[in-house]
């Protein structure tokens, strides 16, 4: 049902044609990149956390890892991921299809700086066989983002990534 909610949401904003329903799994960064035909770093993975016991989403580049020290500096507590069996209850999407669209009311979405290297990124679209192609501006707008944060490490700033329009 989650992908249907995302389709309805993106249809209201005129973006439904961007949804890709994929034959192969897109539940992991590697699977999504293979299914779409892009680099893993261009996958906009959406991570689910509890901050002050409230659900939040942080959308990061596929090659980024959350840095606990940076996370704590922003949220003033240790990073606490939502257990997989509770993600759908808190967020509205099951693991493998979590995306920053059509989430439950009160879920705050943040975008990590690791995404800024790209002109185009690919978040999931509500299930483990979907993705949506968006510019960073579109991602920021349609995710109703609360803003850009810097909570990740392990990603590499490459000089040619801004031209990566796979």
Of the candidate ranges 43-57, 78-92, 99-113, 145-159, the one whose mean pLDDT is the lowest: 145-159
* For residue 162, pLDDT beyond 80: no
pLDDT given for residue 14 in this prediction: 93
- What does the alpha-carbon distance between residue 79 and residue 84 come to, in Å, rounded to a whole number? 15
Task: Note whether 42 and 33 are within 8 A (CB).
Answer: yes
pLDDT given for residue 130 in this prediction: 97
Question: 108, 113, 90: which is closest to 144 by C-alpha?
Answer: 108
pLDDT given for residue 19 in this prediction: 96
- What does the alpha-carbon distance between residue 46 and residue 96 come to, in Å, rounded to a whole number? 9
* For residue 157, pLDDT beyond 80: no
DSSP state of 90: H
What is the average pLDDT value for the chain, to the nearest integer?
93
Q: What is the pLDDT of residues 4-42, one digit of tens each?
A: 999 999 999 999 999 999 999 999 999 999 999 999 999
Residues 116-134 have a mean pLDDT of: 97
Dihedral of CA atoms 27, 33, 35, 38 in degrees, nearest 10, equals 150
Residues 105-116 have a mean pLDDT of: 97
Q: Identify the band that residue 156 occupies on the pLDDT scale cut at 50, 70 and 90.
A: confident
* For residue 151, pLDDT beyond 80: yes
pLDDT given for residue 166 in this prediction: 47
Comparing 111 with 154, the larger pLDDT belongs to 111
* For residue 82, pLDDT beyond 70: yes
- The DSSP secondary structure of 93-158, one letter per residue, reads S-TTS--SSSPPTT-EEEEEGGGGG-SEEB---SSTTEEE-EEHHHHHHHTT---EE--EES----
pLDDT given for residue 164 in this prediction: 54
Q: What percent of the chain has pLDDT over 90?
A: 91
- The DSSP secondary structure of 29-81, one letter per residue, reads HHHHHHHHTS-GGGBEEEEEEEETTEEEEEEEETT-EE-HHHHHHHHSS---B
């Amino acid at each position: 049902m989650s992908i249907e909610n995302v389709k309805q949401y993106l249809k209201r904003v005129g973006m439904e044609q961007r949804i890709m329903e994929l034959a192969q799994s897109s539940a992991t960064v590697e699977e999504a990149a293979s299914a779409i035909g892009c680099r893993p770093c261009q996958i906009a993975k959406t991570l689910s956390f509890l901050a002050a016991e409230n659900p939040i989403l942080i959308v990061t580049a596929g090659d980024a890892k959350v840095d606990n020290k940076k996370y704590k500096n922003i949220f003033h507590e240790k990073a606490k991921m939502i257990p997989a069996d509770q993600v759908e209850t808190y967020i509205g999407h099951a693991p493998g299809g979590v995306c920053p669209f059509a989430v439950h009311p009160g879920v705050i979405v943040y975008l990590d700086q690791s995404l800024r290297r790209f002109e185009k990124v690919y978040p999931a679209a509500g299930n483990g066989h979907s993705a949506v192609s968006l510019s960073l501006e579109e991602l920021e707008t349609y995710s109703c983002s609360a803003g850009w944060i810097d909570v990740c490490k392990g990603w590499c700033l490459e000089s040619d990534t801004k031209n990566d329009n796979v």
